[in-house]
């Protein structure tokens, strides 16, 4: 409550200043008698911890003219930043309803009200206001940026593409990465409907929008695998890894499936061994363990993983090593390993596997768009330096 009092005190001061100026301009005692009690009534509401009533009084006292519009806008913006969206909406709606506004002032008030609606989750109302600003050709860039956020939230990817195209001409910088992901999202929708032809066409557009992206290549590889073309799928997966080696852990399952169908797992093992060390995710070593287990035996897999854990120890690697050793005939050792396994599983379950490189948002699954900062392709699988033991 104390914070709110300090927030409203400047408004009370502005109201008092405005009344003093009015009374000096009008040499009218009767006017003073009318307005002064209202001002003190507002202060009384404020001191009695009735901020809503105080707001009403001060907003009425601050008649909207060229000198007080900024005060209204600043007050509404402060309330929105504090999370008191309903109060911000009331102030901005009251401002827009006044006939004394210039076109520029009205546009600024519309922008602020649209941002209020967005904060409140009223996306339809916010969208209408931003579209109105676009038609007015005022605050167009800010309106388009907010529209893009709304369409992404609503998963209206076609509108995202149209808005991004308009925005690119204003910001003078490419939005190619975002547009590539919009095409990928449309391709995902087409695949869910079983329309692989449309999906393939959209993925080509995604690659054309941003040639450095790995997501469309991975999706193309999965489509090729669904057709039984493992050779094409494998080439696409390798191409994705060439573009961004950090993406390798995400395609390991598809790599395994491709080579399993082609009975060429030893060839994949040789390929993956080239990525061991140098900070590469432990998932690569664990994939090799799976291959050795399938093509050779558990003893060889245990020896390989034990050697890897001595060089690059991690919790995930330790957990897998426990699983392999739990199959040993020594009952006592097996029981001890099973006990250790449960503790390691608990530690892993409590730790997020992914993190946004831009804002630090942590998650347990891969998000193409960060839910926190809304950046595309910034969430990566976390490495495990904190898990390494000397």
Cα–Cα distances (Å) from 77 to 1, 144, 359, in that order, read: 18, 20, 24
Q: 382 and 355 in contact (C-beta within 8 Å)?
A: yes
Cα 192 off chain centre by: 23
Residue 24, Cβ neighbours under 10 Å: how many?
A: 8
Strand locations in 209-283 (E): none
Q: How do 379-381 and 362-363 pair as beta strands? A: unpaired
CA distance 141 to 147: 10
- Residue 184 assigned as binding residue: no
Residue 31, Cβ neighbours under 10 Å: how many?
A: 13
- Residue 28 assigned as binding residue: no
CA distance 222 to 237: 9
Which strands make up the sheet holding 379-381, listed edge to edge? 362-363, 354-356, 379-381
- Residue 373 assigned as binding residue: yes
CA distance 237 to 23: 77
Residue 112: exposed, middle, or buried by beta-carbon count in 10 A (0-12, 13-18, 19+)? buried
Closest C-alpha among 362, 357, 361, 358 to residue 372: 361
Residue 232: exposed, middle, or buried by beta-carbon count in 10 A (0-12, 13-18, 19+)? middle
Q: What are phi and psi of 314, to 5 degrees?
A: -145, 160
- Residue 359 assigned as binding residue: yes
Residue 212: exposed, middle, or buried by beta-carbon count in 10 A (0-12, 13-18, 19+)? exposed
Residues flagged as binding site: 356, 359, 370, 373
Residues flagged as binding site for Fe cation: 356, 359, 370, 373
């Amino acid at each position: 409550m104390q914070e709110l009092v300090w927030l409203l005190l400047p408004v009370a001061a502005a109201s008092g200043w405005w009344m003093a100026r009015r009374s000096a301009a009008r040499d009218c005692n009767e006017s003073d008698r009318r307005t002064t009690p209202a001002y003190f009534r507002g202060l009384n509401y404020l001191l009695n911890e009735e901020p809503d009533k105080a707001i009403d009084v001060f907003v009425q006292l601050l008649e909207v003219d060229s000198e007080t519009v900024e005060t209204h806008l600043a007050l509404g913006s402060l309330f929105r930043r504090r999370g008191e969206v309903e109060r911000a909406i009331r102030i901005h709606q009251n401002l827009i309803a006044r006939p004394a506004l210039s076109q520029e002032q009205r546009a600024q008030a519309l922008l602020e009200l649209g941002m209020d609606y967005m904060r409140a989750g009223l996306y339809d109302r916010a969208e209408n206001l931003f579209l109105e600003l676009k038609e007015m050709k005022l605050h167009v860039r800010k309106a388009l940026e907010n529209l893009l956020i709304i369409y992404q939230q609503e998963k209206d990817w076609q509108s995202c593409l149209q808005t991004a195209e308009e925005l690119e001409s204003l910001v003078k910088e490419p939005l190619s990465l975002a547009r590539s992901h919009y095409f990928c999202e449309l391709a995902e929708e087409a695949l869910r409907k079983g329309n692989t032809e449309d999906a393939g066409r959209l993925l080509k557009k995604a690659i054309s929008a941003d040639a450095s992206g790995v997501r469309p290549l991975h999706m193309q590889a999965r489509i090729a695998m669904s057709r039984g073309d493992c050779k094409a799928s494998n080439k696409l997966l390798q191409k994705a890894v060439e573009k961004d080696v950090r993406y390798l852990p995400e395609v390991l399952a598809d790599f395994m499936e491709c080579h399993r169908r082609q009975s060429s797992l030893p060839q994949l093992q040789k390929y993956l061994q080239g990525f061991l060390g140098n900070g590469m995710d432990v998932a690569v070593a664990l994939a090799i363990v799976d291959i050795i287990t399938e093509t050779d035996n558990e003893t060889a897999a245990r020896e390989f993983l034990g050697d890897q854990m001595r060089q690059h120890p991690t919790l995930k690697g330790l957990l897998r090593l426990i699983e392999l050793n739990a199959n040993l005939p020594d009952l006592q050792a097996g029981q001890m390993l099973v006990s250790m396994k449960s503790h390691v599983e608990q530690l892993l379950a409590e730790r997020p596997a992914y993190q946004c490189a831009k804002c630090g948002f942590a998650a347990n699954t891969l998000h193409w768009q960060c839910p926190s900062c809304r950046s595309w392709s910034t969430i990566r699988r976390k490495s495990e330096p904190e898990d390494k033991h000397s």
